[in-house]
């Protein structure tokens, strides 16, 4: 079976039963041998339908007599696929989107409702008035509603619900952003988060140079560009094919790591010969970067409680030919043996990942205000305990890939209120991306729509020399 839409339907059915989108997609793609263009279509349909779930449900609510949650689950999934193609896939002709969705209904137990599916999608097209486009399409960019005669999607006046429905986010996430950014920038951030993610790589200066990697990739027909302020970073432009098959991967010349994550290790600024503890290390992108910045001289303790993810770290450090990393399995909140031993500690804390939702299509539906509260408790415990690992005069960097103050500013503020021997230290000697938001307090946030990279919060803390 090689019908891309049927494969997308099977994967989405699994997602709606609780599977992670990337796992469900891998499962269906591994069973078939598809040409690249069909693989891309399946991927686009699965991730797009998951990402745009709220918008697609609202369209079902508007056009069908029964609300989306009252539809049979498989029929709801089929309608998602139809509406997704009509609304967001400019390259797919409207007739093909409708006909293939009707066919899906017939082949998956809804032959009796084929007319209903056909009528619903055609009603949407009539409302859109084909002459003006088909809805808030994405011809290379995000919503182009203003350029259309009519958008069939009806939106409420309330700004939280309006942005939530149009860009498909839960209200609570929109609210968190609105409070920090205001309406216009929140909309830009929503649009950014709905783009397909870029892939960045970090060259390994112990094995190669950025020029050498550029030349090798260019000769393989792969386009890259440099990222300002990050001396080891390149960003892929366009399709790359299989990452593992690209020149230099097996040789350990480079590893995949987003630009924001690269900035974290530069801010830690580890030096050759030091003892560094990475308290939540797996899968090891930052750990291996720390080793590269230390010229692989010194000792790095890579701690994590998930053994399977630490194996990934081990594989990566072997491929990059790094010797200074020691792996330690367990929960960093319970380690006693590291007290006052480290020159520097990185706490890249487990978080809700609200800064990387473009990479994880279903993350926006999995996190809740309650899960954020639970994470903030864990983050405080980790920060309080791992700070004891640092020698007097040493440095701790606290970082998350979320944009929620409860996991960032509030965690650090609570820690500083209880720990007078610690101070925030402004990033010195590190070039920050343009328009980086450094607050008066000295912590800073990378906002994706401003810096065009994953959302991150980073703060550098120093322990007083006379601390015991």
pLDDT digits (tens, 9 = 90+) for 288-332: 999 999 999 999 999 999 888 899 999 999 999 999 999 999 888
CA 210 – CA 398 distance, rounded (Å): 28
Structure tokens at 449: 């729509």
Fold of 200-256: Alpha-Beta Plaits (3.30.70)
Q: pLDDT value at position 256? A: 96
Q: pLDDT value at position 429? A: 66
Is 401 designated active site? yes
Q: pLDDT value at position 345? A: 98
Q: pLDDT value at position 437? A: 67
- Annotated catalytic residue: which of 190, 303, 351, 401? 401
Listing DSSP states for 209-269 in one string gives: -HHHHHHHHHHTT-EEEE-TT-TTEEEEES----GGGSTTTTTTSEEE--HHHHHHHHHH-
Q: pLDDT value at position 141? A: 37
Domain ranges of the chain: 1-138, 200-256, 259-463
The torsion defined by the Cα of 192, 173, 164 and 105, in degrees rounded to 10, comes to 90
Q: pLDDT value at position 427? A: 75
pLDDT digits (tens, 9 = 90+) for 214-232: 999 999 999 999 998 899 9
Q: pLDDT value at position 142? A: 39
pTM (2 d.p.): 0.91
CATH of range 259-463; options 1.20.1050.140, 3.40.50.150, 3.60.15.10, 3.30.1330.60: 3.40.50.150
CB atoms within 10 A of CB 90: 14
Give the rounded distance of the alpha carbon of 375 from its chain centre: 17
CB atoms within 10 A of CB 417: 8
Fold of 1-138: N-utilizing Substance Protein B Homolog; Chain A (1.10.940)
CA 374 – CA 382 distance, rounded (Å): 13
The three-class DSSP label of residue 314 is: helix
Sign (positive or negative) of CA dihedral 24, 28, 29, 31: positive
Q: Which residues of the chain have pLDDT under 50?
A: 131-133, 136-148
């Amino acid at each position: 079976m090689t019908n891309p839409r049927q494969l997308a339907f099977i994967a989405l059915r699994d997602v709606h039963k609780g599977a992670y989108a990337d796992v469900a997609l891998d499962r269906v793609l591994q069973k078939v041998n598809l040409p690249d263009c069909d693989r891309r279509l399946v991927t686009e349909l699965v991730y797009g339908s998951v990402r745009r779930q709220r918008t697609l449900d609202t369209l079902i609510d508007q056009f069908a007599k029964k609300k989306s949650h009252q539809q049979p689950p498989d029929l709801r999934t089929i309608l998602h696929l139809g509406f997704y193609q009509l609304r967001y896939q400019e390259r797919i002709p409207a007739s093909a989107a409708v006909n293939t969705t009707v066919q899906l209904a017939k082949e998956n137990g809804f032959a009796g409702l084929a007319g209903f599916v056909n009528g619903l999608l055609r009603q949407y097209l009539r409302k859109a008035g084909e002459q003006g486009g088909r809805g808030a399409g994405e011809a290379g960019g995000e919503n182009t509603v203003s350029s259309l005669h009519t958008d069939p999607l009806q939106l409420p006046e309330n700004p939280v619900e309006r942005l939530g429905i149009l860009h498909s986010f839960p209200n609570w996430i929109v609210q968190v952003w609105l409070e920090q950014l205001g309406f216009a920038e929140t909309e830009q951030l929503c649009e950014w988060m709905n783009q397909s993610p870029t892939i960045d790589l970090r060259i390994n200066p112990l094995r190669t140079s950025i020029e050498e990697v550029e030349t090798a990739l260019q000769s393989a027909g792969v386009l890259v560009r440099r990222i300002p302020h990050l001396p080891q970073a390149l960003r892929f432009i366009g399709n790359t094919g299989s990452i593992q098959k690209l020149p230099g991967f097996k040789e350990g010349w480079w590893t995949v790591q987003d630009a924001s994550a690269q900035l974290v290790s530069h801010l830690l600024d580890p030096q050759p010969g030091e003892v560094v503890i990475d308290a939540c290390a797996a899968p090891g992108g930052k750990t291996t970067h720390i080793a590269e910045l230390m010229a692989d001289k010194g000792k790095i303790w890579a701690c994590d409680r998930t053994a399977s993810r630490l194996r990934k770290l081990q594989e990566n450090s072997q491929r990059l030919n790094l010797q200074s990393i020691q792996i330690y399995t367990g929960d960093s909140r319970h380690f006693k043996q590291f007290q006052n031993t480290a020159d520097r500690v990185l706490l890249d804390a487990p978080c809700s990942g609200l800064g990387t939702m473009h990479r994880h299509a279903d993350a926006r539906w999995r996190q809740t205000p309650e899960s954020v509260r639970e994470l903030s408790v864990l983050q405080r415990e980790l920060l309080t305990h791992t700070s004891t690992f640092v020698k007097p005069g040493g440095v701790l960097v606290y970082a998350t890939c979320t944009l929620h103050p409860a996991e960032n500013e509030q965690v650090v503020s609570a820690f500083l209120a209880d720990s007078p021997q610690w101070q925030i230290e402004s990033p010195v000697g590190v070039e920050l991306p343009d328009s980086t938001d450094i607050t008066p307090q000295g912590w800073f946030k990378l906002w994706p729509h401003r810096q065009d990279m994953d959302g991150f919060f980073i703060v550098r803390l120093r322990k007083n020399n006379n601390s015991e």
